[in-house]
Amino acid sequence: MNSHEDNHGKTPAAWTAVTLILIGAVISAAAILLARPIIFWIGIAFVVIGVTAGLVLRGAGFGQEKIVRHIGGR
């Protein structure tokens, strides 16, 4: 059994990134259906902001800690 707790991305950094990316994807998809290129690019901006926010929050300590695994179980 592992001695660390694996939270599978249940962190503020992950939730923020996924939420913003999902919002951007929905906006972009709706814009394609409505043939609105400006709104499409606004959705893409949400995706970029989501990725950036997730990375910044992870760097600030709100993400999952990096797990170091040794070969051979040592």
Q: Residue written as tokens 């989501």? A: 50
The range of the structural domain enclosing residue 58 comes to 12-62
pLDDT in the model for residue 50: 97
69: in domain: no
Which residue carries 């919002």 as its tokens? 23
Classify residue 4: in a domain, yes or no: no
Residue 30 lies in a domain: yes
Q: Supply the pLDDT for residue 66.
A: 73
Whether residue 68 lies inside any domain: the answer is no
From 55, 49, 10, 6, select the one nearest 27 (Cα to Cα).
Answer: 49
Cβ contacts of residue 39 below 8 Å, gap of 6+? 27, 28, 30, 31
Segments in the chain below pLDDT 50: 1, 3
Residue 51: the pLDDT is 96
